[in-house]
Amino acid sequence: MVSSFQSGALSKLMKGGAIWGFIVLQLIFFSVAGEYLALTDTAFMDYENMLLLLKQSAPIGIIAMGMTIVMVNGNIDLSVGATFAIAAIILLDAMTWPIFAGLGDWVIPVAWLLALAVGTILGALNGFIVWKTGVDAFIVTLGAMLGYRGIVFMFNGENPTSHLNWTLVDFAEAQFLGLHTATWFLLGVTIVMWFVMTRTVHGRNAYAVGDNREAAVNAGIRVGPHMMINFAIIGFLAALSAVVFYSETGSVNPNDGQLYELWVITAVVLGGTKITGGAGNVIGTLGGVIAIQLLRKGLGHIGADTSTVNLVIGCILIAVLFLDRQLNVKGKEALKV
Amino acid sequence: MTDMPEHTGASGEGTMTEASGLTKQQVASLLAKNGILIAFALFIIVFTLANARFLSPDNVFSVVRSSAILGVMALGVTFVVVSGNLDLSVGSMMSFSTIVVLDLHDKIGPALAIPAMFAMTLCLGAIIGFLVGYLKLNSLIVTLGMLSAIHGLTLTYSGGKNMDIADKEGTWFSIFGQGEVAGIPVPILIFIALAALLGVVLSRTPFGRKVYAVGGNGTAATFSGIPRARTVFYCYLISAVCVATAGLIQASRSLGSQNTVGQGLELEVLAAVILGGASLLGGSGTIFKTVIGVLILGFIQNGLLLMGLQFYVQFVVTFVIIILAVWLDIAAKRGKLLSPIA
Amino acid sequence: MTDPVLRLEHITKTFPGVKALDDVSFSVLPGEVHALMGENGAGKSTSMKVLGGIYQPDEGAIFVEEERTVMHGPLDAKAKGIVFIHQELSLAAELTVAENIYLGELPRRSFGRVDWPTLYAKTDAILKKLKVGFNARTRVGDLSIANQQMVEIARALTVDAKAVIFDEPTASLTDAEKVVLFDVIADLQREGVGIVYISHRMEEIFKITDRITVLRDGQYVGTVETAASDEEGVTNMMIGRSLDLSRNTSHHDLGATALEVRGLSCGKLFQDVSFEVRRGEVLGFYGLVGAGRTEIAETLFGLRDPSAGDILLDGKAVRISSPQDAIAKGISLVPEDRKGQGLVLGMNLRDNMTLPQVDDLRAGPFVAEGAEIAIYDLYRDKLNIRAPGWKAEAGNLSGGNQQKIVIGKWLSMKPNVLIVDEPTRGIDVGSKSEIHKLLRRLAAQGYAVIVISSEMPEVLHVSDRIVAMYSGRVMRTFTSEEVTEDNLIQAISGLTGERAA
C-alpha cells in the first residue's frame, strides 16, 4: 500500500508532458535526419504528412483509449486484436446478407451497429468471466485472444472477407475541416473517454478500483460490474476502430489485428499509465499513440524498414520501464529485496 | 465444493487445531492438485470412445511429434512462470533461432551453426534475465517489448526474406527434425529427454527449490539468503536454451523458414503451462504437469481434426478449456465456485 | 440508564479448526469511549469483521440501538450508522481527498457526472472540523501518511454515525495530530456517538476511554471501568495468568564478544549506533515503531548498506553485503513479518526450514531429502512444533507454529549471532511462553542472541541488557539490574539526555 504511493513517478512526469517532449524531439530528429537520409524530397513536417499521421494513428489510438481505462482499472485486455478482426468481418459480411438486401445504403448503419454490438458483447463477455470466475484478466483475455481469433476463421476460413460499399468508402475518405474521418473519430473518442475518466463517477471509481481494490469494495463500489463495463467499453472501441478502418479498405484478412494488443499496450504504457493500475490518463495515451505512429513514419521517412521500427519500439518500451524504475529508486538506504 | 467457509482468512486468529476440518479441504485440494489429470483422462476416454483411432500408436506418435516444438518451449517457460514471471518473447525468439541457424548452416556449416545459434539465443535470454532479474523490471512489459524487438532483429538479420538451406538433400542437419532412432522420431526423443532433465532440475535440485521459493515469496526468499536476481536470471537462460532447441527442431524439420515461424507461439506455450496448473503468481507448477498441458493441447487439436473439424475450432475449444482449468483450480483453492467479487 | 447504541451478544464464530470467537459480548453506550483490548489473535479483528458484516456469526446477534440487526457488509453497516476507521490505509492515491472521503457515494449529476461543487463543499465542511492543513482538492498521494490517516478519519464524519470504530488510529500520528484526533473523538462523544477504540497503547487507553473490554484467545474475559483499573490489571486480563512475564534475573556465563557494532549509520534510518553482544547473553532492543531497530537488524543481515561505521564479528571487522554473506558469517535473522519475510506460505514445512542451506544439503547434484527431513524432525521435536507432518504447507499452520518453523530454520544454521525481530508478534500465549523460554535457553547454550521487541514486558523478561532507541539513535544501554519501566520509557521517548557509548 505504502509503495503504491511512492511509485508512479514516471506517470507524474508523463502527466507533466514528458511524452509531448518526446514527440517534439522525434519531430526535430526526423526533420533533420530526413534532410540527409530521406528517400523522397518532401519534408517530414509536411502538413499533409502530419494529417496522414493522425489518420494512421486512429486504429490503434481508438483501442488505446479503451485500454487506458481497463489498465487504470488494474486489468489488461489481450483480446482486442481478435475483437477488432471479428467486428471487421461482421461489418463487411453483414452488408452482403440477404435479409438486409432491401435496405439499400441503409445497410451501412445497420452493419455498423451490428459490428459495434458484437464488439461490445465480446468485451463484456471477457469482463463477465473475470467478474464471476475470479480468473485473472490476463489469463481470460489471453484465452479470448485465441478463442475470438478462432471465431474469425469460422466465417471464411483462411480467405479474406471483402465488400466495398462506395458510399461507405466516400464517407471514410472524407475530410472535414481538413481532418480525415478516422481522425475525427480518434479525437471524438479521446474527448469522450477524457470526460468519462475525469468527470464521471464511473471514471473516478476506475482509479479507486485500480489503486486499492479492497478499499473500493469496502466503500461499496460494485467492482465486478464496474470491471465488466470497462471491458465492454474496450470491446466497443475495438469494434469502432475496425468499423472506421474497414469502411475504407473494404477487405479483411483473418489475421488482421494480430499484435494490435502489443501496440496498444505500448502506447498506453508510453503515455504514463501505471502497469499495476490506479494511474494514467487518456491525454497521455494520445501522446503515446502519436509518438509510436511518429516513430513508425519517421523511421520509414529516413529509409528504415518495418524491422527497425519493431526493434526500436521494443527497446523504447523497455527503456521507459527502466526510466520509471530509476525515478523511483529510494536511495542507498533502501532494503535490498 | 460450493459453500465452504473461508479458511485462510482465519489463520491469523486464534489457535489452529490440525486434526479437524480437513476432509472438505482435502477433497478440494485433491481436486485442485489433480483436476487437470482427471480432466485429461476424461477427455481421452471420450475421444477414444468416439473414435477408436484416437489412441492408436500412430496417432499418439503424431500428436507428440507435432507438440514437440511447443512442448520444448513450454518446459523453459515453466521455469520462468514458477519463478513468478512471464515470458511472452519465446515465439519471436524461436523465429530468430530458426532463421539464424538456417542462415549460418550454409555459411559456416551445421556443426558450427548450431552452437553459434545457441550462443546468440542465450544472449537474448541473458538480456531478458538481466532486465527482469537484476533490474527488477516488470516481466510482462519487458518480454512484450522483447517480442517486438527480437522480431525486428530477425527481420533485419534476414533482410525480410525467407531463409532456405541450399542443399536440402545432402545435409545431416535434418536429423533433429526428421530423423528417427529405434523408430521414434528425434523431436519426440529430444522433448522427452529435455523434459526428464528439466523435470529433475526443477523438482530435485537446490536450484529448483530456489525457483519455487523465489516465485512463492520473493521477499522471504531474499530473507533466507536466496539470490533472487540470479535465480530469475537463470530461469530466463533455461528458457532461452529451450527456445533455441525448439528453433533447431523447427529449422531441421523444414530446412527453410519464414521470419514469422514462431509468431503467436508464446501464447500457446503459456496456455499449455497454465493448463498444466502453474499459477501466474509463481511458486507452483511442475514440468510433469506442463507436459500434460502440452499433450492436452496437442490431443485437443488432434481430436478435433479427427472429428473433421477445422483447425480454428481448436482455438475456441482451447479458450474454453484454459478458462475452465484455471477457474476450477482457483475455485477449489477458495472453496467457492463463483468469485467473491461483488 | 441509557440503552447502548451498539451491543454484541454471545457472538460465536468458528472457522475450520479454529474457534475464532467464543461467546463474546460487549456493549457501547452513547457518548462512551469503549476500549477493546487483547493481544494479536485474541479476536479483536474477527469481532470487528463480524460487526462489519464481513463474517456472519455462527451464534449470537448484533443490536443497534437495541434493535436486532444483521449486517450485510461494511457499506450496510455504515448505512446503519456503524462506521469503521481502519488501521491500514484504504485510500486511492490518484484521487483527491474529497473523492476518497466520499468513495463509493460520490454525488452525481446527469450523465453520471460527479457533482464537484457539492462534493467539495461537503468535504471542506468536514475538513474544517478536523483542522487539517490540506483541502478537498488535494491529491491523496501527495499527503503524508499521517494526513492520509486523517482522511481516513474524515470518512467517519460523512454519515450520521451511531457508533464509530477506531482500529489503532494513532499508529502513524504525531503527538500534535493525536491531540486533534482526541478532540474529534471528544466532539463525537458530545454528540452522543458511541466509540469503540482498539489500541495497544495503554497511556491512550487510560487517557480517553471510559470502559475497557478484554478478549483473550477468542474469549470474552471481562469489562472494567477504566477509572477503576490500572495497566497491570488490564495486562493480566489480556495475557491471563499462564504467561510468566517476570523480570529476568538469571544470568549465564558470558563468553567472548560475538558481535560488536561501532558507530553504525544508515542514512536517515539510524545514526551512530554502537553496541556489543557476547555469547551467552540476550541483548534486547526496545523503542517505538520507526526508532530504527528493525533497520539495524536488516543492515547486520546484509539487506541494507550502512553509510558509516564498523561491524566486528569475533573481533574482526567485516563487510556484510548480502544475506548470503551474513549467513556465511554466522548471522541469522528471524524477521518481524513472519508471513511476508519469514515463510514461503505455499511451500511445505521441510522446504521452508532448510531453505537457507539448500545448497549445502546435497547428494550429488540433488537435494538430500533425507537429510532435510532429519533436520525438520530434529527441530520439530526441539521446538515442539505441532503440525500434521512436513508435507503440510506453512500457510496452514497457526501463528505460533509458523514462528517456530522460522526459528527452527535459523537455529539449524547454527549461527554465531541470532537476531530475532518481534519474536512473539501475533501468536498465542502458550507459544509465546515457549519462545521466551527458548530464547533464554539459547543464551544458556552459548548463543549470542539479539531480541527486538515492541512489548516492554517481553524485553524485560528475556533480556540480560537492553538497548533503548529513539529516532534512530541509541539513547542508553541498560543492564537488567538498573532498568526500570520508568527509565526505559523515558529513554525511548527521547527524554533522557544520557547517551551510552
Task: Determine which of A218-227, B125-134, C450-459, C488-497 has the lowest per-residue pLDDT on average.
Answer: C488-497
Contact with chain B for residue A209, Cβ under 8 A:
no
Going by their DSSP bridges, the two strands C6-15 and C18-28 should be labelled as antiparallel
Bridging pattern class, strands C282-287 and C465-470: parallel
* Mean pLDDT score, B1-27: 42
If one compares C331 and A161, the residue with the highest pLDDT of the two is C331
Which stretch of A10-14, A111-115, B125-129, C86-90 has the lowest confidence by average pLDDT?
A10-14
Q: CA-to-CA distance for A218 and C90, rounded, in angstroms?
A: 9
User: B263-278 burial string, b = 16+ CB within 10 Å, else e?
Assistant: bbbbbbbbbbbbbbbb
pLDDT of residue B231: 97
pLDDT of B10 higher than 60: no
Question: Which pLDDT score is estimated for B26?
Answer: 62
- C217-256: pLDDT as tens digits: 788 888 999 988 887 788 778 876 556 677 777 777 888 9
* Confidence (pLDDT) at B11: 37
The tens digit of pLDDT for each residue in A262-305 reads 889 989 988 888 888 888 989 999 999 999 999 888 888 887 77
Note which residues in 69-98 of chain A have CB less than 8 A from chain B: none
Strands C59-64 vs C219-225: parallel, antiparallel or unpaired: unpaired
Query: Hey, is the C-beta of B24 within 8 angstroms of any chain C C-beta?
Result: yes
**Could you tell me what percent of chain B has a pLDDT over 70?**
89
CA C30 vs CA A254, C69, C71, C196: distances in Å? 69, 18, 20, 11
For C168-205, the pLDDT digits (tens) are: 887 667 777 788 888 888 988 998 899 999 887 777 88
Flag whether pLDDT at A118 surpasses 60.
yes
C75-92 average pLDDT score: 82
Q: Is the pLDDT of residue C280 over 70?
A: yes
Percentage of residues of chain A with pLDDT beyond 90: 40
Min Cα distance C114 → chain A (Å) is 5
The predicted structure's pLDDT at residue B5: 37
Cα–Cα distance for residue pair C481/C465, rounded to 1 Å: 9
- The pLDDT-based confidence of A70 (bands split at 50, 70, 90) is very high
pLDDT band at C366 (very low <50, low <70, confident <90, very high): very high
The mean pLDDT value of chain A amounts to 86
Instruction: State the alpha helices, DSSP H only, in C319-393.
Output: 323-328, 349-354, 369-383
B230 in reach of chain C (CB within 8 A): no
- Give the Cα separation of A204 and C99 in Å (integer): 8
Q: Which residue of A has its CA nearest to C72?
A: A220
Q: What confidence tens digit (pLDDT) does each residue in B240-282 have? A: 999 999 999 999 998 888 888 888 788 889 889 988 888 888 8
| Cβ of residue B225 closer than 8 Å to a chain C Cβ | yes
Query: Do C470 and C493 contact (CB within 8 A), yes or no?
Result: yes
Smallest Cα distance from B6 to chain C, Å: 7
Q: How far is C76 from chain B (nearest CA, A)?
A: 13
| Pairwise CA distance, residues C127 & B257, whole Å | 68
Mean pLDDT of B76-82: 97
Chain C residues near residue A211 by CB distance under 8 angstroms: 92-95
C155, A218 Cβ separation under 8 angstroms = no
Q: Give chain B's largest Cα–Cα span.
A: 74
C483 falls in which pLDDT band (50, 70, 90)? Answer: confident
Specify the 3-state DSSP secondary structure of C450. Answer: strand
C-alpha cell at C479: 543492564
Nearest alpha-carbon partner for C307 in C275, C277, C276, C268:
C268
d(CA C337, CA C40): 13
Q: Tell if the CB–CB gap between C16 and B12 is shorter than 8 Å.
A: no
Cβ B206 vs Cβ C362: under 8 Å = yes
- List residues in chain A touching C: CB distance below 8 A: 1-2, 4-5, 8, 199-202, 204-205, 207-208, 210-212, 214-216, 218-221, 278-279, 331-337
- pLDDT at residue B221 is higher than 90: yes
Mean of all residue pLDDT scores within chain C:
87
Q: How much is the pLDDT for B18?
A: 39
Average pLDDT over residues C432-460: 90
> What pLDDT, on the 0 to 100 scale, is given for residue B3?
36
CA distances from A147 to A235, B145, B308 (A): 15, 24, 19
Residue in the block written with cell 525468439: B93
pLDDT for residue A229: 97
Q: Quickly state the pLDDT bin for A332 (edges 50, 70, 90).
A: low
- Confidence bin at C443 (pLDDT 50/70/90): very high
Q: What would the pLDDT profile of A155-200 be if each residue is shown by its tens digit?
A: 888 888 888 888 888 888 888 888 888 999 999 999 999 999 999 9
pLDDT(C25) > 60: yes
Contact residues on chain B for C359, CB-CB shorter than 8 A:
206
Tell me the percentage of chain B whose pLDDT exceeds 90. 45
Looking at residue B30, its pLDDT comes to 65
Asked if A153 is an interface residue toward chain B (Cβ–Cβ < 8 A), one would say yes
Range picked from B82-86, C24-28, C181-185 for highest mean pLDDT: B82-86
Asked if the model's pLDDT at residue C499 lies above 70, the reply is: no
Lowest mean pLDDT among A195-209, B103-117, B176-190, C425-439: C425-439
Mutate: best of A7, A196, A336, partner C, most C CBs <10 A: A336
Residue A100: the pLDDT is 80
Q: To which H or E segment does residue C195 belong?
A: strand C194-198
The answer to whether the CB of A307 falls within 8 A of the CB of B152 is: yes
Please tell me the predicted confidence (pLDDT) of residue A108: 87
Can you count the helices (H) and strands (E) in chain A? 15, 4
Mutate to test the interface with C, among A2, A68, A192, A212 (most CBs of C within 10 A): A212
pTM: predicted TM-score of the whole model, two decimal places: 0.85
- Over residues C400-412, mean pLDDT: 93
**For residue C350, which residues of chain B lie inside 8 Å, CB to CB?**
none
Query: pLDDT, tens digit, for every residue of A250-274?
Result: 888 888 888 888 889 989 988 888 8
pLDDT tens digit string along C427-439?
776 788 889 999 9
- Helix (H) or strand (E) segment spanning residue A162: strand A161-162
Residue C363: CB atoms within 10 Å: 11
d(CA C465, CA C460): 9
Listed residue (C52, C76, C44, C56) closest to C15, CA to CA: C56
Helices (H), A271-305: 282-301
Q: How many Å apart are CA C342 and CA C402, to the nearest integer?
A: 9
Q: If you average pLDDT over each of B204-213, C360-369, C427-436, which comes out highest?
A: B204-213
pLDDT at B22 exceeding the cut of 70: no
Q: What is the rounded distance in angstroms from the CA atom of residue C298 to the CA atom of residue C292?
A: 10
Q: What does the block give as the cell for B150?
A: 527480437
Residue C465 pLDDT grade (very low, low, confident, very high; cuts 50, 70, 90):
very high
Check CB contact under 8 Å for A208 and C88. no
pLDDT for A230: 97
Alpha-carbon Rg for chain A, nearest whole angstrom, is: 21
Residues of B in contact with C396 (CB under 8 A): 11, 16
Q: What is the mean pLDDT of residues C331-335?
A: 95
Residues A140 and A259: beta-carbon distance below 8 Å: no
Q: Is the pLDDT of residue A10 over 60?
A: no
Contact between C41 and B12 using a beta-carbon 8 Å cutoff = yes
Quote the percentage of chain C above a pLDDT of 90: 44
Q: How far is CA B75 from CA B85, B126, B219, in A?
A: 14, 17, 25
**pLDDT tens readout for residues A202-211:** 999 999 999 9
Does the beta-carbon distance from A337 to C91 stay under 8 Å?
no
CA dist., res. A252 & res. A159, Å (int): 9
Q: Write down the ipTM of this complex.
A: 0.82
pLDDT bracket for residue B9 (50, 70, 90): very low
What's the mean pLDDT in C469-497? 84
Q: How far apart are CA C319 and CA C305, in angstroms?
A: 9
A145 touches B: beta carbon within 8 Å: yes
C54: which residues sit within 8 A by CB, 6+ positions away? Answer: C73, C74
Measure the CA–CA gap between C278 and C479, rounded to whole angstroms: 13
The dihedrals phi and psi of C73, each to the nearest 5 degrees, come to 145, 170
Average pLDDT value for residue range C19-38: 89
* C100, A221 Cβ separation under 8 angstroms: no
A5, pLDDT greater than 50: no
CA B20 to chain C, closest CA, distance in angstroms equals 5
Rounded to 10 deg, the angle between the A181-199 and A47-72 helix axes is 30
B222 vs A contacts (CB less than 8 Å): 336-337
- For residue C78, the chain A residue with the least C-alpha distance is A219
Contacts of C40 (CB under 8 A, 6+ apart): B12, C399, C425, C426, C427
